[in-house]
Structure 1
Amino acid sequence: MVISPGGWPKGEAGVLFVTESDTGRVLAMKDENNDGVADKIVVVASGLNFPHGIVFHDNALWIAETTRVTKIFDDNNDLIADRKTVVVDNLPNGGHHISRTIVFDEAGRFYVSVGSSCNVCIDDQRRAAILRFNADGSGEEIFAKGSRNAVGIVFNPNTGELWGTENGRDLLGDDVPADEINILKRGGDYGWPICYGDKIHDTDFDKNRYVVDPCLGTVSPQITMQAHVAPLGLRFVWNDSLPNALQGDLLFAQHGSWNRTVPVGYQVVRVINPAGNPGLSPFVNGWLEGTKAWGRPVDILDSQNGEIFITDDYAGAIYRIVFDK
Structure 2
Amino acid sequence: MKIRNILVLGLGCWLALGACSSGNSHSGTDADTSLINTDSGKLPQPGESKNKFSKVVGWPNGKTPVAPAGFSVSKFAGDLTNPRWIYVAPNGDIFVAQSTTEGKKASDVVSGRAQSQNMNDSPNSILIFRDANHDGKPEIGNVFLSGLNQPFGMLIIGDSFYVANTDGLWKYPYKEGQQQISGPGEKIVELPAGGYNNHWTRNIIANADNSKIYISVGSGSNIGENGMEHEVRRANILEVNPDGSGERIYAAGLRNPVGMDWNPENKQLWTAVNERDELGDELVPDYITSVKEGSFYGWPYAYFGPNEDPRRKGEKPDLVKKTIAPDLPVGAHTASLGFVFYAADSFPAKYRNGAFIGQHGSWNRSEFAGYKVAFVPFKGGRPAGKPEDFLTGFIVKDGEREVYGRPVGVAVAKDGSLLVADDAGNTIWRVSSK
The C-alpha deviation readout for 1:107-130, integer Å capped at 9, x for no partner, is 420000000000111242300001
Aligned residue number for residue 28 of structure 1: 128
Question: In 2, Cα distance between the equivalents of 1:124 and 1:5?
Answer: 31
Which residue type is aligned with residue 18 of structure 1?
V
Are the aligned partners of 2:263 and 2:353 in contact in 1 as well (CA < 8 Å)?
no
Where structure 1 has 5 or more consecutive residues not aligned to the other structure, the ranges are: none
Matched-pair contact (CA < 8 Å) for 1:223–1:278: no
Residue 102 of structure 1 pairs with residue 201 of structure 2: no
Does 1:159 pair with 2:246? no
Q: 1:86 maps to which residue?
A: 186
Q: Once structures 1 and 2 are overlaid, which stretch shifts more, 198-207 or 126-135?
A: 198-207
Question: Deviation per CA, 1:102-156, whole angstroms, max 9, x where unpaired?
Answer: 0001242000000000011124230000110011111000111100000111121
Q: Give the RMSD, CA atoms, in angstroms.
A: 2.0
Instruction: Please tell me whether the aligned partners of residues 144 and 189 of structure 1 are also in contact (alpha carbons under 8 angstroms).
Output: yes
**Bigger mean CA offset, 45-54 vs 252-261:** 252-261
Contact 2:361 2:370 in 1 (8 A): yes
Which structure has the highest strand share of the two?
1
For the Cα contact (< 8 Å) 1:251–1:271, is it kept in 2? Answer: yes
Counterpart in the other structure of 2:340: 235
Q: Please give the alpha-carbon distance, in whole angstroms, between the structure 1 residues aligned to 2:272 and 2:176.
A: 37
Residues 1:44 and 2:144 are matched in the alignment: yes
Shift of 1:320: 0.8
Q: Which moved more, 1:70-79 or 1:52-61?
A: 70-79
**CA distance in 2 between partners of 1:223 and 1:47 (Å):** 38
Question: Residues 58-111 of structure 1: CA distance to partner in whole angstroms, max 9, x if unpaired?
Answer: 133211111111122345954110334325241001132111000001242000
Matched ranges for 1:174-193 at <5 A: 174-193=281-300
Establish whether residue 58 from structure 1 lines up as the match of residue 158 from structure 2.
yes
- State how far apart, in whole Å, the 1-side matches of 2:176 and 2:388 are: 45
Please state how far the C-alpha of 1:42 moved relative to its aligned partner.
1.3
Q: Secondary structure at the match of 2:350?
A: helix
Identical residues among aligned pairs (%): 32
Find the partner of 1:200 among 285, 307, 327.
Answer: 307
Deviation for aligned residue 1:260: 1.6
The 5 Å alignment of 1:98-177 reads 98-107=200-209, 108-121=211-224, 122=228, 123-177=230-284
TM-score (norm 1): 0.91
For the Cα contact (< 8 Å) 1:74–1:82, is it kept in 2? no
* Greater helix content: 2
Quote the residue 1:315 is aligned against.
425
Paired with 2:403 and 2:203, the residues of 1 have a C-alpha distance of: 25
Q: How does 1:235-254 map to 2 (within 5 A)?
A: 235-254=340-359
1:278–1:25 CA distance, 2 compared to 1 (3 A) = same
Tell me how far 1:40 sits from its aligned partner: 3.8
Which amino acid in structure 1 is aligned with residue 340 of structure 2? R
- Any unmatched runs of 5+ in structure 2? 1-83, 100-121
Stretches of 4+ aligned residues off by more than 6 angstroms = none
User: How far, CA to CA, are the matches of 1:174 and 1:267 in structure 2?
Assistant: 18
Partner of 2:44: none
Mapped to 2, the partners of 1:164 and 1:136 lie a distance apart of: 23
Amino acid at match of 2:243: D
- For these two proteins, the number of residue pairs brought into alignment is 317
Q: Tell me, yes or no, if the aligned pair for 2:350 and 2:377 is still in contact at 8 Å.
A: no
SS where residue 188 of structure 1 aligns? coil
Q: Which structure exhibits the higher relative contact order, with contacts defined as CA atoms closer than 8 Å and separated by 6 or more residues? A: 2
Q: Which residue of 1 aligns with 2:368?
A: 263
CA contact (8 A) 1:112 1:130 kept: yes
